Amino acid sequence: MEMHNKPSCWAYKKDPQTGRLVVIGSHPEGETSGEKLNLMEAMILYALDGLGIPETKGALENGIERVMDKSTNDADPAHAKIGDKQVHRFTASIPEGVNRLQITLEGEPGYRLHLYARQGDDTHTPNTEYPDTTASPLKNMSIENPSEGIWQVRVECASTVEAVLRDWGAEYTGDLHVLNGISYHLCARWDAPMDLAKQPLLIEDFALYQNFPNPFNPSTTIQYTLDKGARVMVSVYNQLGQKIRTLYGGYQGAGEYALIWDGTDDKRDPVSSGIYFYRLETGHGIFQKKMLLIR
C-alpha cells in the first residue's frame, strides 16, 4: 500500500486459507477521520480477505496432559504459549459409551483463560457449547454422556493490555507479560471401559495407576498392584517436594490395593487447591504421578 506515493505498509499471506499479516511503521489506529483512517480500514479488510478455517494445535489424548509453554524462539507452535485475545483450538475423539468427559485447564496465576467445548466443528452452530469463563486459573469442566465423535476444545486468553492514545500514537499499559504469552496445561479425560487397566505405569514388580477422579474434590482413589510381597510406602507431596501426607507404610503381600486421599495433610488439615504428587515406593523401585485438587 502507498501513501503520498511512498510505501506505507507490507503484507504477507502464508496460503489461500489464511488471512494476511500486515506490517506498518506508523499508528493509524487512533485516527477518527481522513486519509489515515481510510488506510486503517483498508489494512483490516485486506488482512481479513480470504480468511479460512482456523487450524488446531493438535489432538488431546485420553488422560495425557498437554503442556503449552513454548516461546517464539522455540519454533514449536503446537505447544506455544497463548497471547492476549488469542484462541487455541484442539480436538478430542470421544468413543461410544462414554459416561463423562472431564476437561481441565490450569493457567498461570493472575491471568484469565476461558475454556470452551462443543461436539462437532465450528460450523455446527446449533450444537450445545459448554463454556467456563470464570476468573479461576484452575478449571474443571465435566460433561455427562458426551456424544460420540470429534469434540472441539478451545482456550481463550481473556487477559489483555490497555492501549492509551498519546500524541505520538498508542501506548500499551498494564501487565505487558501477557504480550509474550501465558503458559498453561490442558488435559481431557473420559471414562472409557477398562481405561485404567489398559494404561498402568509399570516399574519392575509393581504397577501404579492414575488416580480417579482427577481432578477431584473432596477425595480421590489411588490404585496400585504388587506382583509379590514388599514393604510399601505411599505418600503425597506438594509442588515444593515436601511430603504432606503418608497414606500407607508397611508390608503388603502380592495383590491389588486402593487408597483414598481426602485432600488433607498428616494433621488432617485440608490443603489448598493445586497440583500434588503421589508416590509409591518399594524395595524394587519408586514411581510417582500427578493429580489436581480443586476446592
- Average pLDDT on 92-120 reads 89
Q: What is the Cα 158 distance to its own chain's centre?
A: 14
Which domain covers residue 73, as residue numbers?
58-190
CATH number for 154: 2.60.120.380
| pLDDT band per the 50, 70, 90 thresholds, residue 205 | low
User: Do 295 and 215 touch, CB atoms closer than 8 A?
Assistant: no
Rounded mean pLDDT of the chain?
83
- Average pLDDT on 67-82 reads 92
Task: Give yes or no: residues 72 and 183 share one domain.
Answer: yes
Task: Give yes or no: residues 184 and 201 share one domain.
Answer: no
Domain boundary among the residues 155, 170, 190 is at: 190
User: In angstroms, what CA-CA distances link 119 with 101, 124, 145, 276?
Assistant: 12, 8, 12, 31
Task: Give yes or no: residues 103 and 137 share one domain.
Answer: yes
Among 111-120, 202-211, 228-237, the range scoring the smallest mean pLDDT is 202-211
Residue 53 placed within a domain:
no
Higher pLDDT, residue 148 or 200: 148
Task: Give yes or no: residues 9 and 124 share one domain.
Answer: no
Count of domains for the chain: 3
C-alpha cell at 25: 511503521
Residue with cell 487512533: 30
Among 9-13, 88-92, 121-125, the range scoring the smallest mean pLDDT is 121-125
Among 19-33, 159-173, 223-237, the range scoring the smallest mean pLDDT is 19-33
Q: Report DSSP state, residue 15.
A: S
| pLDDT band per the 50, 70, 90 thresholds, residue 202 | very low
First-residue to last-residue Cα distance in the chain = 55
- Whether the per-residue pLDDT at 172 is higher than 90: the answer is no
- Average pLDDT on 115-129 reads 70
User: Do 22 and 29 touch, CB atoms closer than 8 A?
Assistant: no
- Average pLDDT on 95-111 reads 88
C-alpha cell at 1: 500500500
Q: Which of 232, 240, 245 lies closest to 278 in space, CA to CA? A: 245
- Average pLDDT on 260-267 reads 94
For position 53, what pLDDT does the model report?
A: 63
Residue 227 placed within a domain:
yes
Task: Give yes or no: residues 112 and 199 share one domain.
Answer: no
Q: What is the Cα 106 distance to its own chain's centre?
A: 6
Amino acid at the residue 99: N
User: In angstroms, what CA-CA distances link 16 with 13, 52, 77, 205?
Assistant: 8, 8, 20, 55
